[in-house]
Structure 1
Amino acid sequence: MPWLQIRLATLPEHSEILEDALLLAGCKAVTLIDTDDQPVYEPIRGTTPLWQHTTIQGLFEEDVDVAHLVALMDSVIAAHQLRVASISTEILEDKDWEREWMDNFKPIACGDRLWIVPSWQTPPDAAGVNLKLDPGLAFGTGTHPTTFLCLQWLNDHIQAGDTVLDYGCGSGILGLAALLLGAERMTGIDIDPQALIATDNNAAVNNIAAERYFVTTDTNDLESHYQIVIANILAGPLCDLSDAIASYLKPGQPLVLSGILAHQADTVMAAYSATITFDPVVTLDGWVRLSGRRKAVRERL
Structure 2
Amino acid sequence: MHEGTALPGWTEMLVLAPLEWMELVGERLCVATCATVAYGAPSLGTPRPPAGMDYVRAYVLDSADTRELRALVEARIAGLADATGARELAGLTVRFRRLPPEDYASSWEKVWKPFRAGPFAVLRPSDRRALRATDVELRLEPGAVFGTGRHATTRLCLALLATRVARGERVLDAGTGTGLLAVAACKLGAGRALGFDIDPAAAPHALHLATQNGCADRTEWRTGGFEVLDAADAEFDGVLANIYSDILQAHAHELCERLRVGGWFVFSGVPDDHALATRAAFDAAGLRVETERTRGRWHAFAGRKPA
TM-score, scaled relative to structure 2: 0.68
2:96 equivalent to 1:96:
no
Gaps of 5+ in 1: 11-32, 61-91, 297-301
Cα distance between partner residues in 2 of 1:206 and 1:221: 29
- Please state whether the residue corresponding to 1:214 is helix, strand or coil: strand
- SS of the equivalent of 2:189 reads coil
CA contact under 8 A between 1:254 and 1:292: conserved in structure 2? yes
Superposition deviation, residue 189 in structure 1: 1.2
Amino acid aligned to 1:161:
G
Matched with 2:270 is: 260
Residue 251 of structure 1, CA deviation: 2.2
Give yes or no for contact 2:142–2:149 (8 Å, CA) kept in 1: no
**2:169–2:190 contact (8 Å) kept in structure 1:** yes
Letter aligned with residue 304 of structure 2 = R
SS of 1:159's partner is: coil
1:39 is matched by which residue type in structure 2? M
Quote the Cα distance in structure 2 between the aligned partners of 1:140 and 1:159: 28
Which residue of structure 1 lines up, in the alignment, with residue 30 of structure 2? none
AA at the equivalent of 1:289: A
The Cα shift of 1:147 comes to 0.6
RMSD over aligned CA atoms reads 3.5
What is the CA deviation profile of residues 55-106 of structure 1, one whole-angstrom value per residue up to 9, with x for unaligned ones? 764436xxxxxxxxxxxxxxxxxxxxxxxxxxxxxxx665434312122212
Give the Cα–Cα distance (whole angstroms) in 2 for the partners of residues 151 and 166 of structure 1.
13
Secondary structure of 2:181's aligned partner: helix
Specify the SS of the correspondent of 2:258: coil
- Structure showing greater Rg: 1
- Show the counterpart of 1:220: 230
- What do residues 121-163 of structure 1 show as CA deviations (whole Å, max 9, x unaligned)? 1244164211111244322532000011000012232221121
Match of 1:17 in 2: none
For residues 51 and 276 of structure 1, do their structure 2 counterparts lie closer, same or farther at Cα, with a shift above 3 Å needed? closer
1:285 aligns with 2:296: yes
Superposed CA offset, 1:228-249 (max 9, x none): 1011000111111111111111
Q: 1:142 to 1:136 in 2, by over 3 A?
A: closer
Query: What amino acid sits opposite 1:291 in the alignment?
Result: A
Partner of 1:46: 83
Distance 2:207 2:246 in 1: 28
Q: CA deviation at 1:204?
A: 1.3
Instruction: Give the Cα separation in 1 of the matches to 2:154 and 2:121.
Output: 13
Counterpart pick for 1:200 among 207, 220, 224: 207
Distance 1:106-1:282 versus aligned 2 partners, 3 A rule? same
